[in-house]
Amino acid sequence: MSAIYMLLGTLVALGVLVTIHEFGHFWVARRCGVKVLRFSVGFGTPLWRCRDRQDTEFVIAAIPLGGYVKMLDEREESVPEALRDQAFNRKPVGQRIAIVAAGPLANFLLALVFFWVLAMLGSQQVKPVVGELLPGSPAELAGVRPGEEIVAVDGKTTSGWSAVNLQLVKRLGETGSLRLELVTPGDSLARQVDVPLQAWLRGAHDPDPLAGLGIRPWRPQVTARLAHLDESGPAAAAGLRLGDHLLSLDGQPVGDWADWVRAIQQRPGEAVRVGFERDGLVQELSITLAERGQTGYLGAGVAAGEWPAQMLREERFGPFAGLLEGARRTWSMTLLTLDSLKKMLLGELSVKNLSGPITIAKVAGASAQSGLGDFLHFLAYLSISLGVLNLLPIPVLDGGHLLLYLVELVRGRPLSERVQTWGMQIGISLVIGVMLLALFNDLGRL
Asked whether the predicted pLDDT for residue 359 surpasses 60, the reply is: yes
Q: Determine the pLDDT at residue 20.
A: 95
DSSP string for 116-166: HHHHHH-EEEEP-BEEEE-TT-HHHHHT--TT-EEEEETTEE-SSHHHHHH
CATH architecture of the domain 226-305 equals Roll (2.30)
Q: CA neighbours within 13 Å on the CB side: how many for 311?
A: 16
- Least confident window among 202-206, 246-250, 253-257: 202-206
pLDDT band at 143 (very low <50, low <70, confident <90, very high): very high
Query: pLDDT at residue 332 above 80?
Result: yes
Question: What are 218-246's pLDDT values in tens digits?
Answer: 988 888 899 999 888 999 999 999 999 99
**pLDDT of 325 above 90:** yes
* Most confident of the following: 130-144, 202-216, 254-268, 421-435: 130-144
SS3 category, 225: strand
Percentage of the chain beyond pLDDT 70 is: 98
Contact 321, 119 (CB under 8 A): yes
Q: Which CATH superfamily is domain 123-220+306-315 in?
A: PDZ domain (2.30.42.10)
Give 405's contacts (C-beta < 8 A, 6+ positions apart).
93, 96, 97, 100
CB atoms within 10 A of CB 120: 16
- Tell me the average pLDDT across 365-382: 86
Range 370-379 average pLDDT? 87
Whole-number Å distance between alpha carbons of 56 and 38 = 5
DSSP 343: H
Q: Alpha-carbon distance 215 to 261, whole Å?
A: 16
Burial class (CB in 10 A: 0-12, 13-18, 19+), 309: exposed
Mean pLDDT of the chain: 89
What pLDDT digit, counting tens, does each position of 95-124 carry? 999 999 999 999 999 999 999 999 999 988
- Given this model, what pLDDT does residue 110 score? 97
123-220+306-315 and 226-305, same CATH topology:
yes
Mean pLDDT of the 166-176 span: 91
- Length of the chain in residues, anyone? 446
Cβ 174 vs Cβ 212: under 8 Å: no
What residue spans define the domains of the chain? 2-32+91-121+377-445, 123-220+306-315, 226-305
Contact 28, 98 (CB under 8 A): yes
* DSSP of 41-99: EEEEEEEEEEE-TT-PEEEEEEEEEEEEEEE--TTTS---GGGGGG-GGGS-HHHHHHH
Is residue 22 flagged as an active site residue? yes
Say how far apart CA 164 and CA 158 lie, in whole Å. 6
* Residue 206 pLDDT > 80: no
Residue 68 has phi, psi (to 5 degrees) of -165, 160
The HSE-up count of residue 317 (CA atoms within 13 Å, CB side) is 15
- What digits encode the pLDDT tens for the residues 253-306? 988 888 899 899 889 989 999 999 999 999 999 999 988 867 899 999 988 778
- Above 90 in pLDDT, residue 429? no
| pLDDT band per the 50, 70, 90 thresholds, residue 204 | confident
In this predicted structure, what is the pLDDT of residue 4?
81
311: how many CB neighbours lie within 10 A of its CB? 14
Q: Which of 22, 140, 148, 325 is catalytic?
A: 22
CA geometry: angle at 101 spanning 108 and 21, to 5°? 55
pLDDT above 90 for 3: no
Q: How far apart are CA 138 and CA 3, in angstroms?
A: 41
Confidence of residue 352 (pLDDT cuts 50, 70, 90): confident
Judge whether residue 442 has pLDDT over 70: no
What does the pLDDT read at residue 72? 94
SS3 breakdown of the chain: % helix, strand, coil, rounded to 5? 45, 25, 30
For residues 432 and 332, which has the higher predicted lDDT (pLDDT)?
332
- Per-residue confidence band for 87, with pLDDT thresholds at 50, 70 and 90: very high
Task: Please report the sign of the dihedral spanned by the C-alpha atoms of residue 11, residue 12, residue 17, residue 21.
Answer: positive
